[in-house]
Amino acid sequence: MRIATWNLENLFAPGTGDAAPTSETAYQAKLEALATTIASIGPQVLAVQEVGPQPALDDLAAAVAAQTDHTWHTAAADPDGRGIRVALLSHGELRDVEQVRDLPAGIGPVQISDDGEILTGLGRPALKATVTLDGHDVHVLSVHLKSKLLTFPDGHFSTSDEDVRVRYGFYALARRAAEAAGVRAYVTRLLEDGGGAVPAVVVAGDLNDDVQAATTQLLHGPPGSEFETPGFDRPDAGDAQRLWNLAPLIPEHDRYSRIYRGRRELIDHILVSAPLTSPKPTVGAGPGAAPSIADDPDARRNEPGSDHRPVHAELG
C-alpha cells in the first residue's frame, strides 16, 4: 500500500481567499504541477494540507484523475481562521470520517495572543478516515499543526520588539504542543479500540517541526523502539501504543520536505502503528527540489506547485 502526505501551499481558486492566485492561469498551472507530482508518486491514499474551499479539492482530484485513470474519493475537515484545512484523497471509499478537534482531558485552554485569545481545541482540525488497502483496514489521519511562522499583533509577520517576539514564539510553541497532544490522545483511543489486535494507523501531515522536536515526539507514545535503532527488533510492552516515525528510512541526502532560509528541514512526517512496520517500509521525499522560502506567506502566491516536497511510503 502506498501512502503520501503533502502540504499543497494555499490551494485556493481565484477569488476564494486572501492567499488565492490572482488569475485563473496561475491557478490552473498550480493544479497541473500538483497533479503531475502526485501522479508520479502514485499514492493510494494522500493526506493533504493547506486546502481552501471544497471546489479546490474537487479540482485537484479531477486533475489527478486525468493523469492517473483513477477516480478519487475526497473528504475535508473544517477550515481554520485563514480558511485552510486538511483533507484526504483516496482510490477507495473513505469510511467513518471524523474530525479531530479536542485537546486531551486535563489540558486547559492555551493562551495564544497578548490580548488573551485562547485555544480550546485544535486550531486546524485533523481528519481521520478508514480505508481498505490491499484487503486491510487502515485508519489514516491528515494533520497540520501550528506553523513556526509567527503572526504578531496587527497581522505583521515580523517585529523589532524582542519581548513581543519571545511571547509570540512561546504562544506558537504552546499551541503546537497542545495540538500534538490532542492528536496523540485521539490515536491512543484508536489503538485501544482494536478488539485485541493492534489496528493499522497512519498519522501523516505537516507537523511544522523536525523529527527530534518535542512536539513531534509527543505523537510517538511510549519511548523506546524506533527505526534504525538497536531496540527496533525487540518487541516490548509499548508496541501496542507506539507510533513509529518513518523519517529515518528516507535516504539521508533526500531527507527534507522544505527549505527555510537556505536550510533543509523535514517537517512533514508519516508515522505508523506496529502492524505497518514490517516489512520495513520504503520511504522517500520529493520528487524534485523545493524553493527556499522566508517569512512572507504571500511571496509565492502565483507560483505553481508547492513550497513543500511530498513524503511518501510503501507499506506492508
CA distance 84 to 76: 10
pLDDT exceeds 90 at position 5: yes
CA distance 19 to 100: 25
User: Of residues 54 and 234, which shows the higher confidence score?
Assistant: 54
What percent of the chain shows pLDDT beyond 70? 100
pLDDT exceeds 80 at position 194: no
pLDDT average, residue stretch 36-53: 98
Assign 156 a pLDDT band (cuts: 50, 70, 90). Answer: confident
pLDDT exceeds 80 at position 19: yes
- Whichever domain contains 108, its CATH number is 3.60.10.10
pLDDT at residue number 247 = 98
- Quick count: other Cβ atoms within 10 Å of Cβ 238? 14
Assign 225 a pLDDT band (cuts: 50, 70, 90). Answer: confident
Q: According to the 3-state scheme, what is the secondary structure of the chain?
A: CEEEEEEEEEECCCCCCCCCCCCHHHHHHHHHHHHHHHHHHCCCEEEEEEECCHHHHHHHHHHHHHHHCCCCEEEECCCCCCCCEEEEEECCCCEEEEEEEECCCCCCCEECCCCCCEECEEEEEEEEEEEEECCEEEEEEEEECCCCCCCCHHHCCCCCCHHHHHHHHHHHHHHHHHHHHHHHHHHHHHHHCCCCCCCEEEEEEECCCCCCCHHHHHHHCCCCCCCCCHHHHCCCCCHHHCCEECHHHCCHHHCCCEEECCEEECCEEEEECHHHCCCCCEEEECCCCCCEECCCCCCCCCCCCCCECCEEEECC
Phi, psi of 313 (to 5 degrees): -145, 140
User: Of residues 236 and 183, which shows the higher confidence score?
Assistant: 183
- The predicted model scores a pTM of 0.96
pLDDT exceeds 90 at position 316: no
Select from 72, 39, 67, 34 the least CA-distant residue to 51: 34
pLDDT at residue number 87 = 99
pLDDT at residue number 158 = 85
279: preceding bond cis by omega (within 30 degrees): yes
The mean of the pLDDT values for the chain is 95
Q: In this structure, what is the dihedral angle of CA atoms 101, 104, 106, 110, given to the nearest 10 degrees?
A: -50
User: Of residues 125 and 147, which shows the higher confidence score?
Assistant: 125
Which residues have C-beta within 8 Å of that of residue 141, sequence separation ≥ 6? Answer: 47, 100, 126, 127, 128, 183, 186, 187, 201, 202, 203, 204, 205
pLDDT exceeds 90 at position 210: yes
- Domains held by the chain: number: 1
CA distance 278 to 276: 6
pLDDT at residue number 237 = 87
What percent of the chain shows pLDDT beyond 90? 86
pLDDT at residue number 52 = 97
pLDDT exceeds 80 at position 147: yes
pLDDT per position as a tens digit, 277-297 = 999 999 999 999 999 998 887
pLDDT at residue number 151 = 84
Which residues have C-beta within 8 Å of that of residue 25, sequence separation ≥ 6? Answer: none
pLDDT at residue number 85 = 98
pLDDT per position as a tens digit, 237-266 = 899 999 999 999 999 999 999 999 999 999
Domain encompassing residue 270 = 2-314
Between vectors from CA 175 to CA 169 and to CA 177, what angle results, nearest 5°? 100
Contact 52, 83 (CB under 8 A): yes
pLDDT per position as a tens digit, 167-176 = 999 999 999 9
CA distance 241 to 184: 10
How far, rounded to the nearest angstrom, does the alpha carbon of residue 247 sit from its chain's CA centroid?
A: 14
